[in-house]
């Protein structure tokens, strides 16, 4: 009997990002919701069909979403926060929750485990009335039926849902378990139809993050109850991104049907197999979140190892996690050296299918052997591009080369040199990317726009940015990043060792996608990358112009990195290139340089026992990058959505003069740890939620600033937005920043007496 196959989830944004396009058109008021639905339906059908054609047995429904699966779960449980409850139209309410409206601020968004995908954080409170809304889930299930498929239904498990929720009263979110369980139960009762077997995949990735005693103790009762409801229901509990050995042992004693484990990023899952020997094992052996071809013979070895514990007829070959984190297909890539090493979602589906076939077939035939031989040629390093110039041989102090001077010493020098007021105002770097700008950049890349004309467009944009910032009275200016399509791609294109895909888009949040570069060789900097534009911008103003770089850890974490070189080595290579760039900026007279580390936090390993190693090399890379900065050069760093508790010592050791972070949606909650740790350096807590089109009035900014002052030292606080403004429109940004500066000036006036 052939070994069965399962795909944990499939990307939904579409081969040509169709979903993104219709959503944004709908939000802009250009099309009706029906058109969004039509596109969504077409995409689902297409994705189901291609999995079916590849011979996949368990294909998911409800892996689709118009925005996010956590948001869908919030709707499914009717956990809609009160401020949106009054919006009668269901679709309007759905999008208001994530985009905000005039009356209500959007819900918080944060990163999904250690990926760059963002989910909506549920807000739980006692007044919620949990009630089942199964419409989306059932619609998609029926839609698949009409298309001739019986799908496995994906659901976010109750434990992960709660673990990722916040509570209004700050209490433990698991106290709501007894209130959401009846809703899950009702859902299952609705799904369970006599005479029809249904497969449900409960995603429980919370189980991989050093699960607490509490979550482990709830596992058995929750899944015993759900799996015991009906004989027609087969529950698979799936975890990914790491091992979940503790949970596997417990789940083995519940009446669930299968356990889904990630053997790519959670090798230790092998240790839990004995306990699970009576279950069906969904063996995630094809990496769902990197883009290299599967090493077929290594995967077969792994499956054979698993087979020693679990009989083959109870092994289902699968992806390590949802393919949501992979681009669509390499079919749309041009020819090139790197292409043959790549496998995106579509190709991974075929890999799963092929692996199951080879695994079933026992001793391999000559044809199969030669297929494996072919596969070997498409793996790095094997016959891969040679590693040309390993520049890490350049001297770098172990433990992370330190900058010159202590923070106190640097602060004194910088204060004199920069002469900034209290509560200095700044932005995070990018200004709105207009369609003209995008067109100019694309035309230039295609060779349709000559150098001089392109330069004129960029310079004009910078000119306008500077004039605007001076007009509203910001203290530290930026050039607006008009020459950058993306903060990582821009640097990758100028560094050696990177490959760029044509269509390798991966969903980041809602309609937003990123196209991570592929690091396939050693990295070096042939020439300066930002000096020309930053110097031009500085030439237009007497105020300090902030140089803008993306940090080594972020460039690494937002790229697809080859598996055969340690990440620490790649980070160091990038750091050396950036350190040269900082030296050049400094020489050109730039006094403030921001090194963005937006992805520093998300790179943390999910298991505590592994964080030490990561912290060491990540910190080392950051410090190496900024080690070329003089005492007089003020180094800023920026991090979005960071949960800093537990990593505050590392943040301290990064020793940036100024750290800007996201706090507009999360309020003071994040800042407590800085106070408790007696963090010494300056902080710019975000006061403008840039993920929402909303324009906060000056009074609201004032409140935000006053609230931050309750926690932070006024001598060391900056006023700035949460993040870059490139995804916003000028019509929003102009009034919003004007209000922000106005509020900062007012507060400055009120408190300055108290300071001097």
Taking a C-beta distance cutoff of 8 angstroms, is the pair 159, 199 a contact? no
- Stretch of residues binding ligand GLN (CB under 6 A), selected from 221-229, 298-306, 317-325, 423-431: 423-431
**Residue 688 CB-density burial (10 A; 0-12 exposed, 13-18 middle, 19+ buried):** buried
Strand partners, 282: 260, 316
723 binds Zn ion (CB under 5 A): yes
For ligand GLN, the binding residues in 145-184 under the rule CB under 6 A are none
Q: Measured from the CB atom, is 235 or 723 closer to Zn ion?
A: 723
When binding is defined by CB under 6 A, the residue of 258, 429, 516, 521 that contacts ligand GLN is 429
Q: Measured from the CB atom, is 152 or 728 closer to Zn ion?
A: 728
Size of the site for ligand GLN (CB under 6 A): 13
User: Under 8 Å CB-to-CB from 49, ≥6 apart: which residues?
Assistant: 147
- Choose the contact partner of 659 out of ligand GLN, Zn ion, none; CB within 5 to 8 A by kind: none
User: Under 8 Å CB-to-CB from 613, ≥6 apart: which residues?
Assistant: 605
Q: What are phi and psi of 298, to 5 degrees?
A: -65, -40
The two three-digit tokens of residue 644, written as one number: 């800093």
Q: Measured from the CB atom, is 176 or 509 closer to Zn ion?
A: 509
| Secondary structure percentages of the chain, helix, strand, coil, to 5 | 45, 15, 40
Per-residue contact track with ligand GLN, 333 to 372, x per CB under 6 A?
Answer: ----------------------------------------
640 binds ligand GLN (CB under 6 A): yes
Taking a C-beta distance cutoff of 8 angstroms, is the pair 477, 36 a contact? no
For Zn ion, the binding residues in 604-663 under the rule CB under 5 A are 640
Quote the radius of gyration of the chain (alpha carbons, Å).
26
When binding is defined by CB under 6 A, the residue of 310, 316, 428, 595 that contacts ligand GLN is 428
For ligand GLN, the binding residues in 500-559 under the rule CB under 6 A are 548
CA 719 to chain centre: 25
What is the Cβ-side half-sphere exposure of residue 723, based on CA atoms within 13 angstroms? 19
Is 691 marked active-site?
yes
- Stretch of residues binding ligand GLN (CB under 6 A), selected from 244-252, 301-309, 424-432, 670-678: 424-432
Least distance to ligand GLN, CB of residue 714, Å: 25
Least distance to ligand GLN, CB of residue 32, Å: 32
When binding is defined by CB under 6 A, the residue of 576, 598, 695, 733 that contacts ligand GLN is 598
Per-residue contact track with ligand GLN, 699 to 738, x per CB under 6 A?
Answer: ------------------------xx-x------------
**Residue 34 CB-density burial (10 A; 0-12 exposed, 13-18 middle, 19+ buried):** exposed
- Choose the contact partner of 410 out of Zn ion, ligand GLN, none; CB within 5 to 8 A by kind: none
Q: What are phi and psi of 592, to 5 degrees?
A: -130, 130
Strand partners, 634: 592
725 binds Zn ion (CB under 5 A): no
- Stretch of residues binding Zn ion (CB under 5 A), selected from 574-582, 688-696, 721-729, 736-744: 721-729
CA distance linking residue 636 with residue 424, whole number of Å: 13
Element (H, E) at 235: strand 233-238
- Choose the contact partner of 548 out of ligand GLN, Zn ion, none; CB within 5 to 8 A by kind: ligand GLN
Taking a C-beta distance cutoff of 8 angstroms, is the pair 651, 684 a contact? no
- Choose the contact partner of 521 out of ligand GLN, Zn ion, none; CB within 5 to 8 A by kind: none
Q: Measured from the CB atom, is 414 or 430 closer to ligand GLN?
A: 430
**Degrees to nearest 5, angle at CA 35 with 33 and 36:** 65
**Residue 477 CB-density burial (10 A; 0-12 exposed, 13-18 middle, 19+ buried):** buried
Catalytic positions:
691
Rule CB under 6 A: which residues touch ligand GLN? 428-430, 481, 487, 548, 596, 598, 638, 640, 723-724, 726
Rule CB under 5 A: which residues touch Zn ion? 598, 640, 723
């Amino acid at each position: 009997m052939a070994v069965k196959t399962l795909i944990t989830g499939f990307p939904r944004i579409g081969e040509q990002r169709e979903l993104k396009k219709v959503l944004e058109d709908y939000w802009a008021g250009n099309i009706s919701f029906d058109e969004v639905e039509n596109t969504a339906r077409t995409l689902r059908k297409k994705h189901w069909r291609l999995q079916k054609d590849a011979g996949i047995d368990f294909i998911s429904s409800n892996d689709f979403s118009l925005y996010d699966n956590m948001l869908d779960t919030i709707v499914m449980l009717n956990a809609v926060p009160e401020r949106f409850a009054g919006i009668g139209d269901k679709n309007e309410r759905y999008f208001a929750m994530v985009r905000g409206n005039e009356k209500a601020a959007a819900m918080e968004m944060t990163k999904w485990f250690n990926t760059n995908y963002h989910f909506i954080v549920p807000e739980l409170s006692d007044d919620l009335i949990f009630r089942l809304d199964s419409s989306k889930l059932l619609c998609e299930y029926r839609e698949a039926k009409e298309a001739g498929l019986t799908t496995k239904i994906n659901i976010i498990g109750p434990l992960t849902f709660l673990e990722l929720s916040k509570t209004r009263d700050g209490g433990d979110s698991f106290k709501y378990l007894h209130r959401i369980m009846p809703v899950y139960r009702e859902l299952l009762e609705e799904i369970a139809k006599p005479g029809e077997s249904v497969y449900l995949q409960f995603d429980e990735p919370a189980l991989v993050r050093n699960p607490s005693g509490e979550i482990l103790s709830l596992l058995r009762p929750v899944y015993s109850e759900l799996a015991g409801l009906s004989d027609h229901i087969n529950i698979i509990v799936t975890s990914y991104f790491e091992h979940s050995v503790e949970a596997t042992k417990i789940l083995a004693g519940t009446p669930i049907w299968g356990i889904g484990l990630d053997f790519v990023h959670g090798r230790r899952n092998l240790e839990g197999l004995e306990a699970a020997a009576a279950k069906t094992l969904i063996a995630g052996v094809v990496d769902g979140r990197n883009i290299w071809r599967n090493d077929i013979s290594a995967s077969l070895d792994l499956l054979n190892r698993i087979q020693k514990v679990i009989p083959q007829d109870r092994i289902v070959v699968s992806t390590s996690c949802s393919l949501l984190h992979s681009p669509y297909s390499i079919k749309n890539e041009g020819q090139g050296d790197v292409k043959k090493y790549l496998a995106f979602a579509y190709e991974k589906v075929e890999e799963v299918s092929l692996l199951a076939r080879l695994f079933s077939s026992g001793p391999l035939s000559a044809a199969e052997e030669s297929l494996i031989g072919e596969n070997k040629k498409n793996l790095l390093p094997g016959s891969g591009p040679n590693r040309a110039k390993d520049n890490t041989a350049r001297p770098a102090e172990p433990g992370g080369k330190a900058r010159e001077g202590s923070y106190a010493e640097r602060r004194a020098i910088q204060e004199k040199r920069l002469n900034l007021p209290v509560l200095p105002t700044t932005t995070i770097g990018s200004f709105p990317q207009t369609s003209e700008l995008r067109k100019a950049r694309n035309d230039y890349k295609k060779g349709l726009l000559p150098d001089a004309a392109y330069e004129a467009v960029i310079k004009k944009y910078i000119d306008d940015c500077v004039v605007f910032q001076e007009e509203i009275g910001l203290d530290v200016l930026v050039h607006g990043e008009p020459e950058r399509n993306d903060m990582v791609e821009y640097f990758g294109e100028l560094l050696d060792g990177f490959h760029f895909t044509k269509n390798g888009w991966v969903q980041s949040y809602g309609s937003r996608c990123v196209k991570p570069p592929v690091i396939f060789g050693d990295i070096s900097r042939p020439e300066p990358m930002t000096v020309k534009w930053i110097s031009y911008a500085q030439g237009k103003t007497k105020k300090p112009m902030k140089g803008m770089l993306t940090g080594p850890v972020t460039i690494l974490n937002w790229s697809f990195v080859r598996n055969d070189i340690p990440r620490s080595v790649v980070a160091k290579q990038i750091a050396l290139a950036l350190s040269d760039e900082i030296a050049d900026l400094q020489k050109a007279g730039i006094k403030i340089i921001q090194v963005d580390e937006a992805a520093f936090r998300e790179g943390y390993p999910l298991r505590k026992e592994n964080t030490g190693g990561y912290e060491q090399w990540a910190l080392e890379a950051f410090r190496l990058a900024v080690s070329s900065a003089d005492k007089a050069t003020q180094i800023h760093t920026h991090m979005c959505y960071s949960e800093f508790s537990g990593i505050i010592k590392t943040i301290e050791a990064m020793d940036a003069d100024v750290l800007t972070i996201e706090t507009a949606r999360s309020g003071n909650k994040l800042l407590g740890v800085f106070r408790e740790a007696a963090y010494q350096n300056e902080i710019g807590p975000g006061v403008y939620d840039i993920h929402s089109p909303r324009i906060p009035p000056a009074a609201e900014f004032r409140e935000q600033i006053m609230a931050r002052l309750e926690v932070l030292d006024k001598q060391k606080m900056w006023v700035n937005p949460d993040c870059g403004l490139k995804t916003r429109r000028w019509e929003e940004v102009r009034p919003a920043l004007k209000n922000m500066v106005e509020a900062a000036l007012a507060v400055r006036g009120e408190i300055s007496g108290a300071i001097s």
